[in-house]
C-alpha cells in the first residue's frame, strides 16, 4: 500500500488515541445545564482533573460536548440505565424586567406550560413572585474503559522522568527548530504547538499518558514508528520531539491546511469527521495560532 494512503488511514484511526476513546477513560455527553463541578461530584473526581484531562482552559462546557472522565472514577450514585432522565422542581423569585416569555425560554418550556404549572390567572408577573419550574437531568452516558492500566502507565512514566535529567527549555526549542527544518514544517508552528502542549517540558505526562514536550501518546508513537520504519522512545526528549513533528508533518500533508492539521493533532481526524470541531478544539486553534505569531 502507498505510504501516503497508509498515513492518512493511520491519522484517522488515531482518533481512538487522541480523543475520547483514549485508554483508561470514560466518555460522557454534556447536556444542557451540566457544569464541571456537578460532573466532578457525580463521578468522584475533581474539576481540576476534568480540566486537565480535557485540556480545558476555562470552566465553560457546552451542550452535546463529549468529555473524558477518569476510567477509575465510577459514578457516585448508580443510575437505572444510561441516558435515564430525572425531573426535579425548583423555585424562582421573579426579578424586575422579567416576564413569562423570558423565563419560559430560559427554562426550555412555554409560557402556557409555565402559567399552567403555577396556576396563573394573568400573564403579568409581580416582582418577588415565586414561580416553580422543572429541571430535567440525565444520567451520564458512559462507555466501559478500554484499559485501566493507563493510569499506572502514566504514573510509571512520571516516576521515570523524575529520575532523569531533562534538557532545558532553550535546548528543547533548538531541538524543535532543527526537527521542523528537517521535516519541512514551519518552525514557528512546531514551537507554538509544543508550547501549547507542554510548555517545552519533558516531565509533563497527562492523565491519559500523553508524554513529554509534544504530548505524544505511546500508542501514537508506536503507530508512527510502524509507518515511518523506526522506533520512538517518547521518554527521550529528542525522540519525543521527532515523533511530534512527524505527526504534525503528516497531518499538514494529509489535510493541506494548517488549521485542519492542528485540529487533527488535538481532536483527531476521525472525530472531526464524525462530530465536527468541538468548542475546545476551536479554542486550541486560536491559542496555537496566537502563539505562532510569537515564534515567527
Residues catalogued as catalytic: 197
What distance in Å separates the CA atoms of residue 24 and residue 143, rounded to the nearest whole number?
Answer: 11
Distance separating alpha carbons of residues 275 and 69, to the nearest angstrom: 19
DSSP result, 226-262: HHHTS---TTSHHHHHHHHHHHHHHHHHHHS-HHHHH
Q: Read off the C-alpha cell for 118.
A: 403555577
Sequence-distant (6+) residues with CB within 8 A of 166 are 201, 202, 203, 237
Q: Which long-range contacts (CB under 8 A, 24 or more apart) does 222-231 make?
A: 223/10, 223/13, 223/14, 223/17, 224/10, 224/250, 227/3, 227/6, 227/7, 227/10
Structural contact between residues 192 and 295, judged by C-beta atoms closer than 8 angstroms: yes
Amino acid at each position: 500500500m502507498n505510504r501516503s494512503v497508509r498515513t492518512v488511514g493511520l491519522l484517522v484511526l488515531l482518533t481512538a488515541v487522541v480523543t475520547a476513546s483514549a485508554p483508561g477513560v470514560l466518555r460522557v455527553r454534556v447536556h444542557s445545564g451540566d457544569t464541571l463541578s456537578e460532573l466532578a461530584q457525580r463521578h468522584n473526581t475533581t474539576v481540576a482533573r476534568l480540566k486537565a484531562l480535557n485540556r480545558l482552559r476555562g470552566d465553560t462546557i457546552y451542550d452535546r460536548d463529549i468529555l473524558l472522565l477518569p476510567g477509575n472514577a465510577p459514578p457516585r450514585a448508580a443510575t437505572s440505565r444510561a441516558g435515564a432522565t430525572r425531573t426535579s422542581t425548583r423555585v424562582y423569585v421573579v426579578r424586575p424586567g422579567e416576564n413569562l416569555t423570558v423565563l419560559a425560554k430560559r427554562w426550555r418550556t412555554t409560557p402556557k406550560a409555565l402559567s399552567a404549572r403555577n396556576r396563573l390567572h394573568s400573564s403579568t408577573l409581580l416582582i418577588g413572585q415565586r414561580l416553580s419550574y422543572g429541571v430535567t437531568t440525565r444520567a451520564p452516558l458512559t462507555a466501559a474503559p478500554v484499559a485501566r492500566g493507563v493510569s499506572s502507565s502514566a504514573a510509571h512514566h512520571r516516576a521515570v522522568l523524575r529520575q532523569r535529567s531533562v534538557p532545558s527549555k532553550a535546548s528543547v526549542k533548538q531541538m524543535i527548530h532543527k526537527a521542523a527544518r528537517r521535516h519541512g514544517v514551519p518552525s514557528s508552528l512546531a514551537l507554538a504547538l509544543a508550547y501549547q502542549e507542554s510548555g517545552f517540558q519533558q516531565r509533563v505526562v497527562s492523565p491519559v499518558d500523553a508524554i513529554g514536550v509534544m504530548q505524544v501518546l505511546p500508542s501514537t508513537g508506536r503507530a508512527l514508528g510502524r509507518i515511518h520504519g523506526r522506533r520512538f522512545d517518547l521518554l527521550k526528549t529528542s525522540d519525543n520531539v521527532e515523533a511530534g513533528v512527524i505527526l504534525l508533518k503528516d497531518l499538514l500533508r494529509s489535510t493541506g491546511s494548517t488549521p485542519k492539521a492542528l485540529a487533527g493533532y488535538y481532536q483527531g481526524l476521525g472525530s472531526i469527521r464524525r462530530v465536527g470541531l468541538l468548542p475546545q478544539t476551536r479554542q486550541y486553534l486560536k491559542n496555537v495560532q496566537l502563539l505562532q505569531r510569537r515564534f515567527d
